Structure 1
Amino acid sequence: MIEEMTDISLANQWKFHVFEEAFPSEAFTLDSYNDSIYGICFNPPNCDVVCLTFLSNGKMCAFYNLESSKISINELDDNYLSVKTQFAGPEIHKQLITIFDYINKKYFENFDLTDEGNYWETKNDQLLKDTFKKYTNLINGFDSLLDNIPIGENETIEAYLIRIAEINNKKNDTNEG
C-alpha cells in the first residue's frame, strides 16, 4: 500500500512522508502497541493531509492524534481519521474517494467512510458538485456577514454569533417570502 500511495503521490506531485514500512510481526495484539507509526501521509493541494498510518497493532490512527504515552488503547476505539477537502474542490475529493475505494477493496478488512459529499455512496458527479457549491456558498455567506456586521463593544462571541444567525435567518425569510 505504501508503495502504491507513494507512486500516486509522485504522479500527482503531492508532498508525502513515509513512516515505518514494515510491522514488527505478523501477529497483531490489540492490547498494546509500540511507539512507532507505520504507513504514509500525503497532501493533495488545498486539502488536509491524508494519513494512511497505523499503530503496531494494525489499528489505523492519524499520527497527529497520538501524544506518545498519553493516549490509551481504549481512547483509540473512538478514533477516526478526517480529511477536509472543501477548499481542494470536487475533483480532488473525487480522486481521494477513488483512492479510498481502491485501498478499501485491496487492503482493508473493516473500513467505514462517511462522505459529506455523498460521492462514496453514489458516485454521482453532479451531486458532488452541487454539495461543494452549497458549502462554498454557506462559507462565503458567513464570511460576508462577519465582514459586514461588526461585533459590539461589550458583546460576547456567543451573543455575536447568535445575532448574526438571527440577521441571516431574517434575510433568508425575506428572500423566500
Structure 2
Amino acid sequence: MNKMNSGKLKQADLLTDLTEEIVDVAEAHHWKFHVFNSAFPDNTFSKETVYDKLYGINFTPQNCETISIVFLSNGKMVCPARIHFFASSENSEEQSYIYSNSVKTQYAGIQTHQVIILFFRYLSNKYFDDFELSDESGYWETNDEEKMKKQFQIYNRLTDDFALAFETLPAKEGEDIFTYLERLMKNVNDLQ
C-alpha cells in the first residue's frame, strides 16, 4: 500500500524525543535507521527555508521502502530524495513535491503495515501539526482491519496475476514494449 504523508513538527524542542522514540521502535523491530540531526539549533525553527541541513530520521522496515520523518530547519516534513530533485526548481508545483513522502508497504505485509499506521497515529498525535496521511488500504482512515486485509488481497492477487502473465505471455516478434504491456494488462484484467 502506498502512503503519502506531510506535516510539520509541533515544536522544535520535540525533535530529540521524537527521534529517540523512533530509534527505540526501529531497534525493537530490527529495522535499519539513519539519524540526521536530532536537535534544531537553539531548539528553535528557522524562519528561512534551508535545504542543505536535515533533521529527523529515516527507518526501513523489512521488505518495505524507507520511511522518512525528516524536517527542514523550518520544521516542515520533507522527503530527502525529492529535495535533491526539486529544491532548485523554479516551478512552484515541483517545489511542493518536497513536502510529501510516498512509501510502498505492500511487500512488508499486513502486520508491518498495521504497525506502521498505528505508529504514525501515535506520532501524529504527539509530535505533528497539519499531518496528513493517505493509506490505500484504508486502515489509517477507518481503523478497519478487515477492509485493510481485503485491500492487501486485491493488490497481492493483481501482482501475482501480472507476474504470471509476464511469465507465460512472451512478447511477440516485432511487438513494441507499450503494445506488449497493454496486452499483458488486458490479460490480467480478464483474469479479474
Q: What's the TM-score once normalised by structure 1's chain length? A: 0.88
User: Take 1:131 and 1:107, find their aligned partners in 2: how far apart are those partners?
Assistant: 29
Q: Deviations over 1:100-132 (max 9, x none)?
A: 101111111101100001000111111111111
The match for 2:88 is 70
**Aligned counterparts of 1:73 and 1:171: Cα–Cα separation in 2:** 42
- Correspondence 1:108 to 2:128: yes
Across the aligned residues of Structure 1 and Structure 2, the Cα RMSD in angstroms comes to 2.0
| Unaligned residue ranges in structure 2 (runs of 5+) | 1-17
For 1:24-63, list aligned pairs within 5 A: 24-25=41-42, 26-29=44-47, 31-63=48-80
1:55-108 Cα shifts (integer Å, max 9, x gaps): 112121121222286356944323310111110011000000011101111111
Q: Secondary structure of the equivalent of 2:74?
A: coil
Asked if 1:158 is matched to 2:178, the reply is: yes
Name the aligned partner's letter for residue 142 of structure 2.
Answer: T
What is the DSSP-based 3-state SS (H/G/I as helix, E as strand, rest coil) of the residue aligned with 1:47?
A: coil
Partner of 2:34: 17
Long gaps (5+) in structure 1: 173-177
Moved over 6 A (4+): none
Once residues 121 and 106 of structure 2 are traced to their aligned partners in structure 1, the CA distance between those partners, rounded to angstroms, is: 19
Whether the 8 Å contact between 1:39 and 1:53 is mirrored in structure 2 is: yes
8 Å Cα contact 1:32/1:73 also seen in 2? no
| Distance across 2 between alignment mates of 1:164 and 1:34 | 42
Is residue 21–residue 38 contact of structure 1 (8 Å, CA) maintained in 2? yes
Does residue 133 (structure 1) correspond to residue 150 (structure 2)? The answer is no
Aligned-partner SS, 2:136: coil
Pick from 140, 143, 148 the counterpart of residue 168 of structure 2.
148
Give the counterpart letter for 1:56 in structure 2.
Answer: S
Cα deviations across residues 115-165 of structure 1 (Å, max 9, x unaligned)?
Answer: 001000111111111111110000000110010100122111111112223
Aligned match of 1:175? none
SS in structure 2 at match of 1:155: coil
Amino acid at match of 2:46: F
Instruction: Using the TM superposition, give the Cα deviation of residue 170 of structure 1 relative to its aligned residue in structure 2, in angstroms.
Output: 4.4
Work out the number of aligned pairs and report it.
171
Equivalent position to 1:96, from 109, 116, 119: 116
Q: 1:159 to 1:129 in 2, by over 3 A?
A: same
Q: Percent identity?
A: 37
Over 3 Å counting, the alpha-carbon distance change for 1:42 and 1:73 in structure 2 is: farther
Residue equivalent to 1:5 = 22
